[in-house]
Structure 1
Amino acid sequence: MPPSEGADASSAPKEDAKPSPSSPPSLDAVRLRKQPPPEGRESLWRRRSAIFSFWAVVLCLGLPVWWKTTAIYRADLPLQDMTDWAEGKICKPVFPLRIAVEAPLPPQDAHHLLRTTQHALDDLNEFSAHHLRLMLADPPAPANASQQVVVDGTRNTSDDEDIALSIRLIPVETGATPRSHLQPYSPTLDVYYTPNQIPPPSSTGSPLATFIAHELHKIFAEEQAQLAYLLSTASGGHSSKMKSLSPETSAELQRQSTRALKYAPTYHLTFSLFTPTSTPSAWDIESALRQYVAPLLDSFSAISNFTVDTQVQLYATFSPSIRQPEYDEALKAWTLRKEDLSGFINAAEWPLSPSIGKGPTVNFVLYVPDKTQSPLLVKESGANSWLIPQWGGVAILNPTAPGKDAIVSASLTKEALGPAMHTFSNQLISLLGLPQMPSSLPLRISTLARVRAASLIFSASSTLGALAQVYQKLPSIPVPDSVAKSVDLALAHLQLACDRLREGRFQGALELARIAEGEAEKAFFERSMVGQVYFPDEHKVAVYLPLLGPVAVPLVMAALKELKSGLSALRGR
């Protein structure tokens, strides 16, 4: 039955009431309205698949491609062998010198004399790495080789270049004996004796044998000192075969080493004529070089090669950094102070190139002062020439001298250039490191060859050791195969050079050591490798961060969000 109209309104059913616009919404309603609709399983896996595909492309394709295209190739190097050579563990240089003795004696007396002399020589030797081996020459010798008989009686065939010195025993009847004479231009020592000085077979010593031993020890004393100094500096003073040197000798050898040029297969010699006026404007330099300098350069041809050029510079003024010459009443000459000699060369205006070609340049400057400032000398010493260490030399040719007429005209003759050429020759000898003793030039050159061979072995070994340290401490630099090839060649030639030293074949050791040093330098200064040494990791971060940052941040954040969502779902279960 329908309700009556007058029935109570409270008993009637209520309809869903809508909130009035003026009333605030409840908190639950706000939350329901802000939450997104629940995500279906299909859309969830679609989103995760998209994120996974991006990461798969990055990890499986992008990262390998980046790694392959930016990977640094490093060839394998024999690091242990390189380090062992640098530390001197592989090669202990020794210098066995062969001394050929020509004795006009019966074989039995000759062998006994050699044995007696060898014993006396061994007693005098304090440097076991450098020892002299006496051999008996068997005349007549062939033109290109000489057969030798060793002290113990065995025969040995050796090239002439392997004989360091020849001793000729010459019997005489007059004059003081025994006496000796060293040939200045031949590696030959003439020993004069009387027949009664030959020791009998039953004796254990003789004055003649002692005399020969002392002469040989004196001849090779400076060579032993140079080699001992070289070994001590290369091994840090820990070589068991090192000879003790006096402080004075060490200081002198140190001075010679700092004055001499570094060894090079080729040197470039520049002879320059400078004058502050217009005369002399020409010089007969070709004839002077041919007569005074060419023979010396030919003597050094077994060690280094030389190229020569000349130049003339007129109106060449002094360097403004030095004081002008002053007249000295006592010397009756214009003088330069010793402290101004180092600034004598006007490098700003004089055309002196520091290097021409591959080899170092050695400059020789002939300065002809104005007649109004002649003669020009060094105040402290009165000399007219001086040496500039590791650079060259300077000689002053004065147009006038006390008591003499003018010797310089518009052109310098070969005779006028003679004193200056002799001065330049002596300066070149000092710059090349040639020892001062003995008096025989071939012996001094052979000494220089042995010293250079040992120094090149030490230099190449040190370079290989430095390369091994760079290889280990800088893993980011590339090492091409050419470096490995040069290292292998250097090691092989070093071993051969060391073997040649032990065999006493010093010229061959020098050639091999020269190749080894060149290959070691070539490997160490490889262009592609040196360029990466100064490219630190901070530069790589600065390059990659602007490129990869905008791409990496969305991928990383999306992966972290999905990982967090997955962990929350696992906890809810």
Structure 2
Amino acid sequence: MPNKQEERATQMYAALGIGFVCIVIGIPLWWKTTEVYRVSLPYAEISDLSVTKFKYTVDVDIINADESLTENHITQLSRLVSDKLESGEADVIPYYRLNVRDATEKERAKVKSMSSKSDIDGLLLSGEEDINRYQVVIIPKLSPLSLRKPFLSLGRTILVQSAGSTDVSSLANTVSTVFKDSLIKEESLNKVFHASKGDRSLKPEKSSMRSVRSNPGYDVTFTLVNPQPDILDVQWDIEQAVKIYLDPFLQQLEKYAKVNVKSQVLYFTGFLKRMKRDNKKEAFLYTDQDLPHVINPLEAKLGSHTSNNPALNFLVYVPSRDQHPIYIVDSKGVEIESNSFLSPQWGGIYIQNVPGPSENDTLPVPVELDMRRVMEVFVSQLRLLLNFHSLKHGDIDVAEVRSQVISKWELDGWMRSRCLENVGTSIATLQSLSQLLEEISNIVIQDDIGQQVQDAVNSIRESQRHLVEGRLEKAFLESRNAIVCSEKAFFDPSLLALLYFPEDQKFAIYIPLFLPISLPVLASLWKAFKWMRESTKQKSD
């Protein structure tokens, strides 16, 4: 009898030991070895970014060259301008760092010697260190320049003519309006920021709908389309044209965006849609409704796009003899002077009508395109697609850009707008990524993804800090890094590795293996607990 009791006790203890190993050691070990690797992400910081208000600083120097304005007038002007430039509550808050002073004797002499408005460039400030720093020069009421409106130079200088010491309030109102509505465009920046974060409650700006999204690089392709090379031998010196007309534009952008340029020629390709012929003008006319039917058949033959950069296409189309000449007209039937059209976020097409061959000409007839006219159209379209647009405000005169392509204040405005767009897009991307990773717990999060997310958060914070301190260029470069890191993390292919292996499938795979093993173990444990309870009861009796 004692031997049977000892043998039964041995069996029960063995069952308890096996159960202990399976439950206490085996299950946690299995759970740990089958879980996916997920590096910790800064979820709290990403959540805070969505409610963070961004503040950007603009440096404004108001220089008084009007001797009729006394020190009291200057103090009053400083207070009034500061009050008018103050903004209410918003997610994007401008702060104008004002410095109001009298002009020095040398500066007054320079202002008096100005014979034209163009002489103002380089008057007081020069150099790249003056990015985001603007100067307002108040010239006397009786100045020979006789400005009817404030004048904005190609640099960062604004000429404002004084109304005399009796109307300081009007002068302050003029200065504040120039900055808020024309130069800085506070409302537009606020819309850009909210639109980039995915807010559709505000009506988007027309310029933002037309331009391509901000990106560190762009691919630009110039294409000559000649549907009848057997009749017209069209030649274009695109390489030389790019060097003369486009390179100055690209050189001003090389620190902020890389633009890759290539060219090609397409033969035996034309407009598939038949146009209506105007017998009075003896020409074929294209209207706004016809333009989408032009791009679709041509786009399929432009070649594959194998880059992550946005692609911009610029086409020169030489009409075939059975469709010559072609003119683009507006909704009222008036011919468009440039004979070209812009397709938002895609590119532009310029129609070049060339004279047809005469009866005695040997085919194909050589034709040389006027590349100056072609590049003028394409550079202006490229400016619009990259969101460079001149001021068209009735309360201010602006110097013509001409050969400089991009004025300094335009570059500042572009960086400021793109910076806020990059930051808003990065925040929206990080929020979408964090929400996805929190909802789907079995997606693998590698160390490099965690590092990219952290780098994006750090870059957003750094960009925010530089904006507050008025360092616009550094803020833009940090925002560009933020959008690169956030999109690399969001589109990383490793995030999809286990997307189709949810928890229920994991249990479905392992239950057929563990169930036959666990049933005998659980039965043995049940018997062991019953034996222990009986043994305890016998001892107590």
TM-score, length-normalised on structure 1? 0.72
Q: Is the 8 A contact 1:281 1:314 kept in 2?
A: no
- 1:467 paired to 2:433: yes
Question: Of residues 191, 201, 207 in structure 2, which corresponds to 1:229?
Answer: 191
Q: Is the 8 A contact 2:12 2:531 kept in 1?
A: no
Contact 2:452-2:488 at 8 Å conserved across structures:
yes
* Residue 368 to residue 113, structure 1, CA distance change in 2 (3 Å): farther
Distance 2:131 2:100 in 1: 15
Task: Assess, with a 3 A threshold, how the Cα gap between structure 1 residues 318 and 209 changes in structure 2: closer, same or farther.
Answer: closer
Secondary structure in 2 aligned to 1:94?
Answer: strand
Q: Which amino acid in structure 2 is aligned with residue 523 of structure 1?
A: A
Q: For 1:207-236, what per-residue CA distance to the aligned partner results, in whole angstroms no more than 9, with x for missing partners?
A: 655555555555326x22311323554689
Q: Distance in 1 between matches of 2:287 and 2:326?
A: 11
| Cα deviation code 1:477-508 (max 9, x no counterpart) | 33333333333333332222112112222111
- Root-mean-square deviation (CA, aligned residues, Å) is 4.1
Question: Which residue is 1:502 aligned to?
Answer: 468
1:255 aligns with 2:209: no
Q: Which residue of 1 aligns with 2:316?
A: 366
Say if 2:128 is the partner of 1:130. Answer: no
Q: Is the 8 A contact 1:170 1:190 kept in 2?
A: no
Aligned-pair CA distance for 1:85: 0.6
CA apart distance, 1:550: 4.1
In structure 1, give the amino acid aligned to 2:220: L
Work out the CA distance in 1 between the residues paired with 2:261 and 2:299: 23
Equivalent residue, structure 2, for 1:14: none
From 290, 310, 329, the equivalent of 2:263 is 310
Q: Which has the higher contact order (CA 8 A, sep 6+)?
A: 2
Partner of 1:63: 27
Matches within 5 A, 1:149-188: 159-165=129-135, 167=137, 169=139, 174=144, 176=146, 180-183=150-153, 185-188=154-157
Amino acid at match of 1:370: S
1:15 aligned residue:
none
Q: How does 1:325-340 map to 2 (within 5 A)?
A: 325-336=275-286, 338-340=288-290
Q: Pick from 50, 61, 83 the counterpart of residue 86 of structure 1.
A: 50
2:183 partner amino acid: F
The alpha-carbon distance between structure 1 residues 175 and 308, as it changes in their structure 2 partners (threshold 3 A), is closer
2:448 corresponding residue in structure 1 = 482
- Deviation digits for residues 127-168 of structure 1 (CA, Å, limit 9, x no counterpart): 453354344487789xxx9999xxxxxxxx993123134537
Equivalent pair of 1:181/1:190 in contact (CA under 8 Å): yes
Task: Write the letter of the residue equivalent to 1:388.
Answer: S
**Bigger-Rg structure (1/2):** 1
Distance 2:71 2:55 in 1: 26
**1:300 paired to 2:253:** yes
CA contact (8 A) 2:66 2:139 kept: no
How far apart are the structure 2 equivalents of 1:448 and 1:102?
26
What amino acid does structure 1 have at the position aligned with 2:245? Y
Query: How many residue pairs end up in the alignment?
Result: 491
Letter of the structure 1 residue corresponding to residue 168 of structure 2: G
User: How has the CA–CA distance of structure 1 residues 567 and 159 changed in structure 2, closer, same or farther, with 3 Å as cutoff?
Assistant: same
Q: Which secondary structure state, in structure 2, belongs to the residue aligned with residue 529 of structure 1?
A: helix
Alpha-carbon distance between aligned partners in 2 of 1:318 and 1:509, rounded to the nearest angstrom? 45
- 1:25 is matched with which residue? none
- Aligned partner of 2:240 in structure 1 is 287
CA distance in 1, matches of 2:170, 2:7: 113
* Equivalent residues of 1:147, 1:158 under 8 A apart: no
SS state at 1:98 partner: strand
CA 1:394–1:557: 2 relative to 1, 3 Å? farther
The one-letter code matched in structure 2 to 1:434 is F
536-545 or 346-355: bigger deviation: 346-355
Give, in whole Å, the separation in 1 of the partners of 2:282 and 2:199: 51
The answer (yes or no) to whether the contact 1:434–1:448 under 8 Å persists in 2 is yes
Identity %: 23
Report the more deviating stretch, 172-181 or 344-353: 172-181
State the distance in 1 between where 2:298 and 2:511 align: 50
Task: Give 1:313 shift.
Answer: 1.4
Question: Could you tell me how far apart the structure 1 residues matched to 2:242 and 2:328 are?
Answer: 26
Gaps of at least 5 residues in structure 1 are: 1-38, 149-156, 239-246
Residue in structure 1 matched with residue 219 of structure 2 by the alignment: 268
1:339-358 to structure 2, matched below 5 A, reads 339-345=289-295, 346=297, 349-356=300-307, 358=308
Indicate if the aligned counterparts of 2:41 and 2:450 stay in contact, CA closer than 8 A. Answer: yes
CA gap of 1:258–1:348, structure 2 versus 1, over 3 A, is closer
1:95 and 2:64 aligned: no
Deviation at 1:312? Answer: 1.0
**2:383 alignment counterpart:** 429
Indicate the SS of the match to 1:256: helix
Give the 3-state SS of the residue equivalent to 2:497 in structure 1.
Answer: helix
Q: Check if 1:454 corresponds to 2:454.
A: no
- TM-score with structure 2 length normalisation? 0.76
Residue identity matched to 1:219: S
Distance 1:48 1:213 in 2: 90
- Residue of structure 2 equivalent to 1:7: none
Q: What corresponds to 2:345 in structure 1? A: 390
2:504 is aligned to: 538
Does the Cα contact within 8 Å between 1:284 and 1:412 map onto a contact in 2? Answer: no
Alpha-carbon deviations, 1:267-312, whole Å to 9, x = none? 1111111221224454200111122222222333343221111111
Question: Given the superposition, is the C-alpha separation of residues 97 and 571 from structure 1 closer, same or farther in structure 2, using an over 3 Å criterion?
Answer: closer
**1:166-224 alpha-carbon deviations (Å, 9 max, x no partner):** 537478554646654332x333333456xxx653xxx7826655555555555326x22
Partner secondary structure for residue 414 of structure 2: helix
2:26 equivalent to 1:72: no
Q: Distance in 2 between matches of 1:317 and 1:177?
A: 51
Verify the 8 A CA contact 1:113 1:209 in the aligned structure 2: no
- Secondary structure of 2:221's counterpart equals strand
Give distance in 1, aligned partners of 2:520 and 2:100: 87
Distance 1:127 1:497, change over 3 A: same
Residues 83 and 464, structure 1, Cα contact 8 Å, conserved in 2? no
The alpha-carbon distance between structure 1 residues 182 and 409, as it changes in their structure 2 partners (threshold 3 A), is: farther
Give the residue type in structure 2 aligned to 1:522: K
Q: Look up the match of 2:78.
A: 118
Query: Contact conserved, 1:121 with 1:217, CA < 8 A, in 2?
Result: no
Structure 1 residue identity aligned to 2:191? Y
3-state DSSP class of the match of 1:339?
Answer: coil
Q: Is the 8 A contact 1:117 1:209 kept in 2?
A: yes
Structure 1 position 84, deviation (Å): 0.8
Contact 1:114–1:134, Cα closer than 8 Å, also in 2: no
Whole-angstrom distance in 2 between the partners of 1:188 and 1:147: 9
Confirm or deny: 8 A CA contact 2:66 2:138 kept in the other structure: no
- State the SS of the aligned residue for 2:284: strand
